[in-house]
Every structure is written in structure tokens, then in C-alpha cells.
Amino acid sequence: MTEAMRAVVYRGPRTATSLEMIARPEPGPGEVLLRVAAVGVCGTDVHVWQHGMGDAPPVVLGHEFAGVVAAVGAGVSGFRPGDRVVSETAAAVCGRCVYCLGGHYNVCPQRRGFGFQANGAMAEYVCSRPAILHHVPPGLPLALAALTEPGCVAYNAIVEKSHPRPGDHVVVIGPGPIGLMALAVARLGSPARLTLVGLRRDGVRLELGRAMGADDVIIADEDDAVARVVQAGDGFGAHLVIDAVGVSATLQQSLAMVRPNGQITKIGWGPAPVGFSLDALIRKAATLQGSFSHTYGTWERVVALLASSRIHVRPLVSPFALDAWAAGFHAMEALEVAKAVLLPHGPAFAEI
């Protein structure tokens, strides 16, 4: 008889999403079954819960997760029951396209992500692929390892897609989980000034940003953020602006803040049209760069940074039992916490 497990199943926005009992997965050939220790609630999860995701079939949410290997399928090597691991987010890729063959599987046209096109980890168990699993070093709690994914988003955007140099002025717009992780990664590059921009309602998260090393915190609905940034330093603006919000207003702010020959890296998504001229990008000879997801090497580096506490994420974590998943989502929606982390098997198993 197939065993059952608890899982947060998306069947539509708000009350259509609920904790259900579903069949526990079993690892097929080339698969690894994980007992989920911790799974982060992403801003995208909250957005899906609020507004839906089109005609998507019922799916278990959750793509930021760490756990312990419970079983391995035929043909799996390198992992065995009891191993502590963290998983990447691409549940499946084609493995044959020019992007997969070139190591850029994050942009594979057939990529299927956990929690969206494949069952995710807001559950007691989930199956993953050994190609996207990473061993968690001793001393790094699994509850903190679950934040590897947002750390990789930030690392990819700042280290791999942008070109900050020691002594630069770096601005991060948006103090959400990704923005705060971007702040932490940017700090590693020894900027002369590190500025975080948010709104008054972001108060809790702005204070976290200050504690994580922001030199300057600007409340954009109470102060002129563009003027504050441009007037700092030599008066030309920021060398690098990270847009971790995604609405058109923050891109317009970014264009006004960036210095000539500077760079804007956009992480945040936004469906609305831009609605303004991009001529400032040309006039300033600035670079506008998009950044999406991450690949294997990024994960290895970020896991190492978390394990060494070079990226310190414990202040971001607010734990919730899996049964209290809705409370975690509501706390994220109300901006009461920076990162809700669900613990399907309790705090002891998550090592927090």
C-alpha cells in the first residue's frame, strides 16, 4: 500500500490552496527521495497563492528546500540514505538543447521547476535528481541551507551577471528576501557604499538590511531616493543598481540613479508594461542586464559561503510548522517576516 504524506497543494488562489494528504512519492531510476527538513516560502509562492498561475494543474508548492536522503532509485551514485542535501530548483530539463549542453540549463526551454510544473517540497517528502543535489557541510543547519536558492539568485545577479568592484556604490532596491540576499552578497565585494531602498511598510525588513550591513537605508515614499543616491559620493550616481522589485517604477528609479557607464541588473519580475522612455540608458551608456536562476557552480559556492557564515542568513529565518503554512504565507504577505521557512518534520529535524 502506498504511504500518504502531508503537502501544501495549489489548486487555485487563496482558499483553493490547502494542506492535503497525498501519496508519498517513490524514487524511480535515477531519482533520490528526500525527507524534507525545511522549505522556504518564496515571494513567488505568495504571489501564486494571492493571484493564481493560470491553468496550472494541481501541484505541491515549494522550490527552496533542504533535507535528508531517505532512499535512492536504481542507478544513483554519490548519494545514500542519511546524506544531508540541498536541491536546485529545476526538476527537469531536456539535457539536449544548446543551453543544457553548454551548462546553462537554467534557461532550457523545456525546464520544469519544482512547485510550478512539478510537485515541490512543501511536503514531507519530495523526489529530486542527483545532478542537482549538493551535500550540506557539517555545521550548516538544514533550516539555513534551505536559503541556498535565494542566495544563488543573488549571487548569480551580482557576481556572475554584474561587475562590481571594491569601492563602488551599490544600490539594492527592494528589501524582500532576494533583495536582502543581494545586499549580503554585494557586501562581500567591499563596496564603498551599500544602499538599500524600500518603503515605510517594509520597516521590519529594512531594519534587517541595516543589521546586515547597509550603510544607507532610504524610505522611498518619505524621501527622494534618486536625489539621495546621486548626491552620495562624487555626485554621479551608483555604479551598480540591483532592481529586486520588478515594477516599472523601480526600473525608472534605477535609470535615474545609475551613473554614466554604470550597470542595472534586474532580478524582479513584473508583468506590467514599462510605460516610459529608456533613452536615459542610451544617454548614460549604461548597461541593463537581466538575471534568472542559477547553475551548479553557483550552488557549490553559495553553500560554502553559508557554511562559513560569510553570508549570514539566520536573522532572516522565521520557522513555521507545515500545518501552519497559511500563517507563514500571511506573515510574508503582511511583511511581518523576511523569510517564512516551513519545517515538515519539526525544528529538531531541521536543526534549528
In this structure, are 121 and 228 located in the same domain?
no
Q: Which among 267, 240, 93, 85 is positioned nearest to 174, based on CA atoms?
A: 267
Structural contact between residues 130 and 78, judged by C-beta atoms closer than 8 angstroms: yes
Condensed to tens digits (0 to 9), the pLDDT of residues 107-119 reads 999 999 999 999 9
Q: Which among 299, 298, 347 is positioned nearest to 38, based on CA atoms?
A: 347
Domain membership of residue 271 as a residue range: 153-290
Residue 191 region by backbone torsions, left for phi larger than 0, else alpha for psi between -120 and 50, else beta: beta
Is residue 322 assigned to a domain?
Answer: yes
In this structure, are 112 and 172 located in the same domain?
no
Whole-angstrom distance, CA of residue 227 vs CA of residue 237: 9
| Exposure b/e, 151-172, CB count within 10 A at least 16 = b | bbbbbbbbbebbbbeeebbbbb
Sign of the alpha-carbon dihedral angle for 9, 322, 294, 128: negative
92 CA to centre of own chain? 19
Mean pLDDT, residues 327-345 taken together: 97
In this structure, are 215 and 326 located in the same domain?
no
In this structure, are 141 and 24 located in the same domain?
yes
pLDDT bracket for residue 204 (50, 70, 90): very high
Q: Which among 184, 193, 189 is positioned nearest to 166, based on CA atoms?
A: 189
pLDDT > 90? residue 2: no
Cell digits of residue 302 = 553559495
What's the structural domain count of the chain? 2
In this structure, are 161 and 134 located in the same domain?
no
Q: Residue 47's domain is classified under what CATH number?
A: 3.90.180.10
Structural contact between residues 63 and 177, judged by C-beta atoms closer than 8 angstroms: no
Condensed to tens digits (0 to 9), the pLDDT of residues 262-283 reads 999 999 988 778 889 999 999 9
In this structure, are 158 and 268 located in the same domain?
yes
Q: Which of 290, 324, 341 is the last residue of a domain?
A: 290
pLDDT bracket for residue 54 (50, 70, 90): confident
Is residue 127 assigned to a domain?
Answer: yes
Q: CA-based angle 236:239:242, to the nearest 5?
A: 125
In this structure, are 272 and 322 located in the same domain?
no
